[in-house]
Chain A
Amino acid sequence: MKKKETGARRNLGLIKLNRMLALLVAIFALLSVTFMEQEVSASGINSYTYYRHGEGSKDFYPVPAPSPYNYVKSIYAEDIGADSLYKANSMFVSEKYIYISSGNSIIITDHDFNRKHVIKSIEDGNGVQELTDINGLFVTKDEELYACEPQKGRVLHFNSDWTLKRILGRPEGIVINENVAYQPLKIVVDSVGRMYIVANNVYEGLVELNVDGTFSRYFGVVEVNYTPIELFWRSLQTEAQRARSAEWLPVNFSNIAIDNDDFVYATVAASGEDEKEPIRKLNAKGKNILRYPSSTGIYPQGDLHVNQYGQNIPKGKSLLTAVDINDYGVYAVLDSKRSRIFAYDDDGYMLYAIGESGTTEGRFKMPVDIKFLGDDKLLVLDRGNMSIEVLELNNYGRSIHNAVKYQAESDYRAAAEEWKKVIDYNPSFQYAYVGIGKALYRDGDHELAQKYFRLGQDVDYYSEAYKKTRQDFISDNFGTFVLVIAVLAVISIAVKMIRQQMRANKKLDGGING
C-alpha cells in the first residue's frame, strides 16, 4: 500500500516536473514571439492604410497596419541648448545640419542634434538687431540659409558661415494692397536661386522672386471654387447683403517644399471644405501636375473617411500644414488637425498614415513641421510637446520605402521582392500587390500579373495585362478558330443541301402519288 503511494507521489513529482518544463518552454516561446514582433509592431505608433472594399469611389476603409516607423527619441530644448521650443515654427534638414526656428532664434545642430550654432541677432548697416519670431527656413545646397521673419516683413539670407548676406524686404513691384502687410511665412529656393514664398494675406498664389530679390510673378495661382448653389444664392442677395457676407477668397497655401528637379510641392490650407487638390506639385508654369491613380481617381488628400460632426473632436477633412519630399519621390504631408502624417509615392498611392494626437511616445500634440532625415528617419517638430520627435523606419517601413525607390529606378523585380516582404507584414496593403503585378507583367507572366492587379484593385494595369493575355490566347488558337469556323460553315451548307434534296424528293414523291 505504502509502496504504491510513493510510486504515485513519484509520478506526481514527474508530472510536476513535466509541467514546469512545459511552462518554461511556453514562456520562452512567448518571449521569443514578443521579441520577434517587437521588430515591427511594438513601437506604439498608430498606423493604418486605406483598403478598397466596394465598387464606389468612397468605399475606402482604414484598416490597421503595422507602423512603418519606430519611435527613437524625443529631442527637447535642453538637448539642443535652446531656451524652449514652444514657439518652434519649422525646421530644415540640409546635407550637414538641422536648422530649427524657435521663436526669435535659429538653432543649428548636426544630424545627431549636437548644437553647432545659434543665430539670435543680425548685424547690418544700422547696427545689431534682435530677431523676431522666425518662421519658414530653407537651406540651399551650399548651406546658405534663408529665414522668414514675418513680423518685420522680410526674408533674411545668410552665408554658409551664418553671417548675414542680405535682407529681402517687401519686393519691388509686388501688387498687393498698400495697407496689407507683406508677411513671408515659408520659403523655398530652387537650384537657380529663384525664391518661392508663401506670404500671409496674399491670395494670388506663391510670391516668386528673381535671384536678385525683385518681384517676378505670382506662381501657382489657386483659383476660387464656386458651387452652383452658392452662385444662385449670391445672385439673389442685395448689394448690402453681399457686402456683409463673408468674402470669397481663394484658398491660401500653408507650406511648401521643393524636390531635386525644382518641382514645388505645396499644401493648401483648406479653408473651404470642398478643396479638391489640397496637395499640389507645381511645374515651372505654376500648373498642378501631381499624379494620382486614375483607376480609382482618389486624389492624395490625407484622410478619406472623416467625421463631419462632433463636439470637442476634430471634424472635417484633413488640414495639411507641412510637406516634405525625399530623394525618390516619397512625399509626406502633415495633418495638423488630427496630428497624422500621410506618405504617398510619386504616383499618388498612399503608403501609410501614422500618428495620432497625444502626449505619449509616438504621438504628437501640436505638430508643426515634418522633415525626412537621411534615408530612414523622420523628424516631427511638435510645438505642443516642445520637442522634436525622432522616428526611424523599421523593417516594414524600410521595405515600403525600398520598394518605392526601386520602382522609381524602374527595377521592378527588386521592388517586387520588397513588396513581398511588405505583404508578409501586412497582407491588407493593396498597393503592394500592384507592385508585384508590375514585376510579373514585365517578366511576361501576364496571367499571374492579372491576378495580382486584381488583388490590388487596379483596373488600368489589370486591363493592360488582360490585353496581353487575350492577344496571346488569340494568336495561340488562331488556327483552331479558323478550323472551327470552316467546319461549321461546311456543316451548315451540307445540312442546307440535304434539306433541299429531301424537300425535292418529297415533292417528287407527292407528284408521283398525286
Chain B
Amino acid sequence: MSALIQKLKAVNFKEDFINFPLYIISRPFKGFGDLKYEDRGSPYFAFAMMVLLCLFNICDSTYKGFIITGYYSENMVVNTPYVLIMTIAPVILFVLGNWSVTTITNGSGSLKQIFMVYAYASFPKLILDVIGLVLSNVVTAEEAAFSTFFYAFGTVAFMLYLFIGLVMIHEYTFTKSLLMVILTILAMCIIVFVLSLFITLTNEVFVFFSTVFKEIAMRF
C-alpha cells in the first residue's frame, strides 16, 4: 500500500495529465513517438481515463438534453453496471485484439503501449463529448446539430488519433497499418465468438452436472 502511495507521489501530475495529452492533440505523430521512445506519458493516466470515460458515459445517459434524446422520464433509471461494462469491454477487447494481431506480425508495440495509446486517443473525444453534452442542454431543436456535431467530431478524432498512435508504436507502414486495423476487428470478433462459445459450453457442462446431481438426489 505504502509502495503504491510512493509510486503515485512519483507521478508528475501536471506533465502526465495535462501537458502531454494536450501535446498529443496538437502534435499526434511526435507525441505518440515520444510515448514510445522517450517514455513520456503514464499508465496511471490511462487508468484515470478509463474511470473518466465510465463517469462520462453515466452522465451522458443521465443528463443528455431532452431535445437530443427525444425522450424524458421523470424517474430515470440508468443501468450503471451495463454502462460500465459497455465502456470497459470494448477497450479490453480492442487492446487484446490489437496486441494478439501485432505480436505475430512483428509489431513492436507492447500491451501497455497499446492501452496507453487508446487512452490518450480518447482524451480529445472525452473533451468534445463533454462539450456536446453541455450544449445538448442549451440548444433548441433547430440548433441540435451543434451538439450532435461535437459527438460525431469526437468519434472521428478518436479514430484518427488511435490510428496515428498505432502507426507510431508498431512502426508499420500506412498500408500495413490499415491491414492491421482490419485484422484487429477480425480478432475482436473471434474473441467475442470464442467467449460466447465458452459461456454456452460452460452452461452445458453445468447443466449436465446439475442434472446428474438431481438424479442422484431423487434416488436417495
Contact = CB atoms under 8 A, between A and B. Distances in A.
Are these two chains actual partners, yes or no?
Answer: yes
Contacts of A460: 141
Interface stretch (A51-59, A237-245, A379-387, A492-500): A51-59
B140 A467 contact: yes
Given A460-B141, A463-B142, A455 B72 contact: yes
7 shortest A-B CB distances, which residue pairs? A463-B141, A55-B71, A463-B140, A454-B72, A467-B140, A459-B70, A55-B69
Contact of A466 (B69, B72, B140): B140
Contacts of A467: 140
Nearest to A462: B66
Interface string A456-493: 01011011101100100000000000000000000000
A210 interface: no
18 contacts: A52-B71, A53-B71, A53-B73, A54-B71, A55-B69, A55-B71, A296-B70, A454-B66, A455-B74, A457-B70, A457-B72, A462-B67, A463-B67, A464-B140, A466-B67, A466-B140, A467-B140, A470-B138
Contacts of B66: 454, 459, 462
Contacts of A55: 69-71
Contacts of B70: 55, 295-296, 457, 459
A459 B69 CA distance: 9
B140 A59 contact: no
Contacts of B71: 52-55, 59, 457
Interface of A: 52-55, 59, 295-296, 454-455, 457, 459-460, 462-464, 466-467, 470
A186 B68 CA distance: 45
Contacts of A295: 70
Contact of A459 (B67, B73, B74, B138): B67
A52 B73 CA distance: 10
B6 to A, nearest CB: 35
A52 B71 CA distance: 8
Nearest to A59: B71
A140 B66 CA distance: 49
A452 B71 CA distance: 13
Interface in B134-174: 138, 140-142
Interface string B51-80: 000000000000000110111111000000
Interface residues of B, number: 12
Nearest to A466: B140
Contacts of A459: 66-67, 70, 141
Contacts of B138: 470
Q: Which of A54, A457, A463 has the most CB of B within 10 A?
A: A463
A14 to B, nearest CB: 49
A53 B73 CA distance: 8
Contacts of A470: 138, 140
Contacts of A52: 71
Given A457-B70, A459-B70, A470-B140, 10 more contacts: A52-B71, A53-B71, A54-B71, A55-B71, A454-B72, A455-B72, A455-B74, A457-B71, A463-B141, A464-B140
Q: Which of B69, B73, B140 has the most CB of A within 10 A?
A: B140
Interface string B109-134: 00000000000000000000000000
A240 B72 CA distance: 55
Q: Which of B69, B70, B74 has the most CB of A within 10 A?
A: B70
Q: Which of A59, A455, A462, A470 has the most CB of B within 10 A?
A: A462
A295 B74 CA distance: 19
Contacts of B141: 459-460, 462-463
Q: Which of A54, A59, A455, A459 has the most CB of B within 10 A?
A: A459
Contacts of A53: 71, 73
A171 to B, nearest CB: 48
A53 B74 CA distance: 11
Contacts of A463: 67, 140-142
A467 B74 CA distance: 22
Nearest to A296: B70
Nearest to B74: A455
A378 B33 CA distance: 77
Contacts of B74: 455
A223 B138 CA distance: 42
Contacts of A455: 72, 74
A416 B66 CA distance: 23
Contacts of B140: 463-464, 466-467, 470
Contacts of A457: 70-72
A462 B65 CA distance: 11
Nearest to A461: B141
Nearest to A459: B70
Nearest to A451: B72
A101 to B, nearest CB: 46
Contacts of B73: 53
B65 to A, nearest CB: 9
Contacts of A464: 140
B85 to A, nearest CB: 20
A147 B214 CA distance: 73
A154 B49 CA distance: 77
Nearest to B137: A466
A55 B65 CA distance: 12
Nearest to A456: B72
Contacts of A59: 71
Contacts of B67: 459, 462-463, 466
Contacts of A296: 70
A455 B138 CA distance: 18
A212 B193 CA distance: 71
A120 to B, nearest CB: 58
A447 to B, nearest CB: 14
A54 B79 CA distance: 14
A59 B71 CA distance: 10
A118 to B, nearest CB: 55
A296 B73 CA distance: 16
A466 B144 CA distance: 13
B49 to A, nearest CB: 27
A59 B73 CA distance: 13
Nearest to B69: A55
A295 B70 CA distance: 8
B78 to A, nearest CB: 13
Nearest to A56: B71
B25 to A, nearest CB: 24
Nearest to B68: A459
Contacts of A462: 66-67, 141
